[in-house]
Chains A and B, each alone.
Chain A
Amino acid sequence: MLEISGLAAAVNGQQILNGIDLVVPSGEVHAIMGPNGSGKSTLAYVLAGREGYEVTAGSVRFEGRDLLALSPEERAVAGVFLAFQYPVELPGVGNANFLRTALNALRRARGESELDAVQFLKLARAEAKRLSIPEDMFKRNVNVGFSGGEKKRNEVLQLAILRPKLAILDETDSGLDIDALKIVADGVNALRGPDFSALVITHYQRLLDFIIPDRVHVLLGGRIVRSGGPELARELEASGYAGLTAEAA
């Protein structure tokens, strides 16, 4: 589904990614772990198409298409979803309206019929209920006045409603208590299936107790320095990243 090869990228002229090779097949969940500054969030933003992230080498193919040639909205239409590490506040934009606008933008671009307010609310309420998200979250402005945990839950609610093929979770676990963590994990696990893949970016192993990855990759200095099964996450939890730094050097 996702094939990254030799990907290098710079932000403000500073090289952050230095040749990433990574393949995430359909139906698999891969975790990317690494210390602060290793390039995890940069990778997430490059995949989502954020401005200011300059790809200097390499390629990214998504279902065989050149992902980097697409605008952010085209990537969303193709089925890529980024759960933001810091979800953005949109004062004056109601959450329900935002979610419906997004869903209908995707449906329109895919040649599907749009949902009216009633159809949408039925769908949205069912998803919110499944994720134990209170309905008043629909009435509030997008992320405005939300606690850190509420913002992350709102990302997962979007994930559940927009149903992407590839979800990139950028440290969605940071700052969450155990209950919120389970909600996030439930949201992702519910989507798991042969046509869904996820890239779970995290600093800690904790989230991976709830979302069991198929593969774990360690990102260091803008490169993947080790890959392994789920046991690699536990190993890192015990030994830290320090040993790997030496190994990489």
Chain B
Amino acid sequence: MNAILDAPARGFLACYEATKNLLPGDAGVREQAARLFRARGLPTPREEAWKYTPLRALNEFDFKTPAARAASEAISAPALAAELGPRLSFINGRAQNLSPELPNGIRLESFAERPVLGMTADGQYNFIETLNVMLAADGAVLEVTEGQDAHTLVLLHLAAPAEAEAIGLHVRHRITLKRKARLTLIELATGAGRYLHNPFIEISLEEGASLQHVRLQEESAQAFHLGAVAAKIGAGARYDAFFLHLGAQLSRTELHVMLEQPSASFRFGAAQLLRGAQHGDITTEIFHRAPGCASRQTVKSVIDERARGVFQGRITVERGAQKTDGYQMNQALLLSSEAEIDSKPQLEIYADDVKCSHGATVGEIDPEQIFYLRSRGVPEAEARGILVQAFLAEALETVEAETARNMLNAAVERWWEGCAQ
């Protein structure tokens, strides 16, 4: 009855068997996830949802559960501008002193203390979520109380495996905004060495709440990042997300967004910058379940050398979700002849009074633009950098929080300087 499991799947199950008695939360839910995982294992490109993102690179590694707090004491979190806000740090997947000075109106517990586990994907096998449910050890459980503006909170993920070790980090966060609550969440993921980061964030926005979620994924060059966000948006609530992905040899981020009540809105901007042999995948799945909801997605990819980018975006408009406004745009800039982008938009519409559109563009930097800049004295490499940043500017401008926007712009510059070397 079990599938023939390959090495990484066996490794994840061994981790589960070894740690299951120590993991918090409902053992039954975990066991259910483990059963599913035993039966299905790692997805292969034969499965439609994973057609463009092969996971065979995972085969070479056995991701161990990190020794509790072993490495974490030795390293310090990267210096972050204090102006960003209070910080929650997770080092090697474990919360570090989860008691920053928090603004009024935030309730914070750790997942280890209040483990709420459950599968959000309805009936379908979702590899990223299943892996997380099976192995989630820690995370933040955050609630902003009704009507409160909790301002900005930083969620830092830092991975630091011991030398020659590969570790698996399975964190699970739950963020709830009560009626008319507001929060800006700045999420950073970074690290050194070889590790698998498997974060899962559950978001629930009640009526009129507003969450701005800015992410900078700057994992190490040897890292794997397989993460997901599952968000439920209430009446008149807004979820604005902007993700900048620069790191990891292989990354996939899934967004599952349910616009559950009338006039809920979701705005998503993303940019992935890939080079070398990097593989980056952004997969979104938006469900319009109530009338008058809006979703806007703009995903930009800049791909150099032999790197490969993937964007899969599905919008489902359910029966009764009239006056839906759905928009999806995917734009890619290919900087080398070997760079590749795979783009798959999907619209499924079961209501008749809706406005839904999608588009995709793929191109190279316009040589006329380069020549124009060079003719004004700008060296070629700098000219290309200006044009790449211009391509991204439109997306980055949508980030309202200025400090977060500056942080992202600086990361783009770092990336570009790395390219020019």
Contact = CB atoms under 8 A, between A and B. Distances in A.
Nearest to A79: B377
Interface string A97-114: 010011001100100000
Interface size class for chain B?
A: 20 to 34
A92 B390 contact: yes
A93 B374 contact: no
Contact of A90 (B379, B387, B392): B387
Main secondary structure of the interface of B (DSSP, over half): helix
Contact of B374 (A76, A90, A92, A109): A76
Interface string A69-86: 001110111000110100
Interface of A: 48-51, 71-73, 75-77, 81-82, 84, 87-88, 90-93, 98, 101-102, 105-106, 109, 158, 162
25 contacts: A48-B375, A49-B374, A51-B367, A51-B371, A71-B374, A71-B380, A72-B374, A73-B379, A75-B375, A76-B374, A76-B377, A81-B376, A87-B372, A88-B366, A88-B371, A90-B373, A90-B386, A91-B394, A92-B391, A93-B386, A101-B378, A101-B382, A102-B376, A105-B377, A158-B376
A72 B379 CA distance: 9
Given A91-B390, A92-B394, A162 B369 contact: no
Interface of B: 366-369, 371-380, 382, 386-387, 389-394
Given A88-B372, A162-B377, 9 more contacts: A72-B374, A73-B380, A84-B372, A90-B369, A92-B389, A93-B390, A98-B373, A98-B376, A105-B379
B273 to A, nearest CB: 15
Nearest to A83: B375
A49 B374 CA distance: 9
Interface centre among B366, B372, B387, B393 (most CB of A within 10 A): B372
A46 to B, nearest CB: 12
B376 A162 contact: yes
A77 B377 contact: yes
A71 B374 CA distance: 8
Contacts of B378: 73, 101-102, 105
Contact of B375 (A76, A93, A98): A76
Contacts of A87: 372
Contacts of B393: 92-93
A5 B376 CA distance: 25
A90 B380 contact: no
A162 B376 CA distance: 8
B371 A50 contact: yes
Contacts of B376: 76, 81, 98, 102, 105-106, 158, 162
B363 to A, nearest CB: 12
B43 to A, nearest CB: 37
B122 to A, nearest CB: 40
Contact of A73 (B366, B368, B377, B386): B377
Nearest to A109: B377
A55 B371 CA distance: 18
